[in-house]
Structures are given as C-alpha cells and as structure tokens.
Structure 1
Amino acid sequence: MKTLIAYSSKTGNTRKVGEAVLKAFPQGEIVDISDVTAVNDYDLVVVGTWIDKGTADTKALRFIDTIEGKRVAYFFTLGAYPDSKHAEDCITAIDKLFTDKGNEIVGRFHCQGAIDPKLIAWMSELPEKHPHSPNPERLKRWEDASKHPNEEDFDNACNTFTEILAGL
C-alpha cells in the first residue's frame, strides 16, 4: 500500500513521531507538509500535526483542507496529557476536518510532546488570573510534557500504525 506520511512540526516532536510511524509502512514516504505536491498518488494519507488552540496547526489545517475522498489516518502531539478532555476534544475536531471532506478515517494516534519553550516563556509572563498563567498543576504538566515524545511513545505510534495497516 503506497502511503504518504505528511507532517507539520514546530519543535521536532511531530516529525519524530512521524519517523516512528514510517516504520510501520514498507511502502511509506515521509514528507514535510510544505513539500507535498499531490495526495492522489497514494492509497493512504497519514497526516501528522501539533495541536494549536484545540485543533491541527495552521499549516496542517491548510493541507487537510486539500484532501478529499481519501483513506486517511492521523497523529498528533500536544502539551496536554493524552488522556485529557482537551485531547478528546482535539480528536473530535480533527476527525471533523477529515470527515467533512468525505475522507475515511482508518486510524489515529496521539501522544504528549514538549511545549515550545517560547510559548512557555510567554505564558510564564501572563498575569496570575489569566487562564494560561502558571500554576502548580500547569507547571507539572509542562515538566511532564518536556519528557515526550519518548521511546515508549515512538513504539506505541509504530505499533498503532502497524495494527492499522494490518486491518486494511
């Protein structure tokens, strides 16, 4: 099965997960979203994105909007915990992006990823009452996120997509 793995990555997290996903696809090709020229040549399009404001980042959003009537899968990294309500909401939002264009979603994967240090610096300067200002819970999550993606995440991504491929 000829597979395109197209990713958008700000800090390198999503690219690294994409490289782990590639191991599941003997006929896979991995490309930065900016360098994709055509998706119609592929049997499966796998999109990797980082989460920005509860959905795919802008570059990935533009790319996803060009995909219609294809068999797709996706993966994403986010600073929030992977079992959080925020992660569930991201899945719902990204599913809708694909299904609104008549695509068939055959699988998905997500894991925590380190947050851009520039974003942490910005949030660290926010007033105490701001919803994104540092608090003990948020500081702990930022610290936890800094350890991801890790080898376990990469193995989980590869295994997830190996299972997806086996089911097609």
Structure 2
Amino acid sequence: MKTIVLYSSRTGNTRKVAEAIASALPAGTPCLDLTQPLPEDLDAYDCVFLGYWVDKGTADAASQKVLPRLHNPHVALFATLGADPHSDHARGSLEKGAALLPEGVEPVDSFICQGKVDPKLIEAMYKRFPPESLHGRNPQSEARHKAASTHPDAQDLEAAAAFARAVLRQLEGKG
C-alpha cells in the first residue's frame, strides 16, 4: 500500500505528530510539509494521512487548499489544537476538516491531540477579547495554555503512531 503523510504546522506541533505517524508507516513513506511542493502524482497514493493545526475551529488555510484535492481511495485525518482533544470543539474541528474533502470521500479514521498555542496568538487573543471571554486573559485561559504547553508529549506521539498502525491494519483487513 502506497502511503504519504502531508501536514501543515504553525508551531511544530503538527509536524511532530506527522513524523510520529510516518515512523509507524512503511519505511520510505514520504512526510511532507504542505509548504513544500507536493508530488504531482498525489492521486497515485492509496492512503493519504493529512494533518492540520486547528484554526478557528477548522483546518488551517494551507490544509483547506489541499483537502478538496484528495480523491485518493483512503484518507486519514489528524490535527492538533490548543484545547482539550476530547472536547466538542475538537470533535467539531475534525468534522469541519473532513467536510472539506471532495464529495464521496470519507476519512478512514481521524486523530487529534493537544498542542501548545503560539505565544503570539495568545497575546493577540488577550488584547482582542475581554477578560470574561473564553479567549480573554483570565485564570482559566492561562491554565489551559499552560496545560497545552507540554503537548504534544511522548504519550501523544505514541498515540499518533498507534493511530497510523491501526489505519494500516484496517485497510489491510487485519483489524
């Protein structure tokens, strides 16, 4: 099975997850940042793992340009975000990313984990939103950002690799 890992990363979170996923796939699986030129034969891959950082509840702009081009037989999505990966926001972010795929293309599976938030973004949110806002400077926001700052951690990266192995087993009819 010919696989490829594509990702977009702002702070390095999604890159780390992409590399963990690629490490669990067959040797030689390409792992490419969406800022690099993509293979012209992208349709030749049986399975594309595409990862994005969550921006305003959906895939970032670079990923939004590539997702509609994925007509491959199998697509697996992964993402990173500063919020709780078990939250409705996280689930919705994966659903919105999947909705960008071409009609008839459904993700085989998806994975999301927490990642640190760009400090510049935190400061911009603190300036833009009042303290009582979810994104304003307040003890709850600061606690969330502190918790996120340690991710993706070793457990997250192992979970990402396990996700990749599970997708391959499923596609090979072994799981």
Q: Do structure 1's residue 6 and structure 2's residue 6 form an aligned pair?
A: yes
Q: Conserved in 2, the CA contact under 8 Å of 1:70 and 1:102? A: no
| Distance in 1 (alpha carbons) for counterparts of 2:162 and 2:72 | 26
Q: What do the CA deviations read for 1:60-97 (whole angstroms, capped 9, x no partner)?
A: 00011222253100100000000111011112212222
Matched ranges for 1:59-74 at <5 A: 59-74=62-77
| Distance in 1 (alpha carbons) for counterparts of 2:127 and 2:93 | 26
Which residue type is aligned with residue 165 of structure 2? T
Q: Conserved in 1, the CA contact under 8 Å of 2:59 and 2:97? A: yes
| Distance in 2 (alpha carbons) for counterparts of 1:88 and 1:131 | 18
| Distance in 2 (alpha carbons) for counterparts of 1:10 and 1:122 | 15
Unaligned stretches of 5+ in structure 1? none
Q: Which residue of 2 aligns with 1:77?
A: 80
Q: Conserved in 1, the CA contact under 8 Å of 2:134 and 2:141? A: no
| Distance in 2 (alpha carbons) for counterparts of 1:70 and 1:137 | 43
TM-score under structure 2 normalisation?
A: 0.89
Q: Percent identity?
A: 40
What secondary structure sits across from 1:80 in the alignment?
Answer: coil
Q: Conserved in 2, the CA contact under 8 Å of 1:67 and 1:101? A: no
| Distance in 1 (alpha carbons) for counterparts of 2:133 and 2:164 | 39
Q: Conserved in 1, the CA contact under 8 Å of 2:79 and 2:94? A: no
Q: What do the CA deviations read for 1:94-136 (whole angstroms, capped 9, x no partner)?
A: 22222x4322311111100000110011122233355521222
| Distance in 1 (alpha carbons) for counterparts of 2:31 and 2:72 | 21
Q: Which residue of 2 aligns with 1:150?
A: 153
Matched ranges for 1:129-148 at <5 A: 129-148=132-151
Which residue type is aligned with residue 29 of structure 1? P
Q: Which residue of 2 aligns with 1:19?
A: 19
Q: Conserved in 1, the CA contact under 8 Å of 2:5 and 2:48? A: yes
Unaligned stretches of 5+ in structure 2? none
Q: Which residue of 2 aligns with 1:164?
A: 167
Which residue type is aligned with residue 108 of structure 1? S
What secondary structure sits across from 1:5 in the alignment?
Answer: strand
Specify whether residues 37 and 134 from structure 1 end up closer, same or farther in structure 2 by C-alpha distance, changes over 3 A only.
same
Q: Which residue of 2 aligns with 1:115?
A: 117
TM-score under structure 1 normalisation?
A: 0.93
More deviation, 89-98/10-19: 89-98
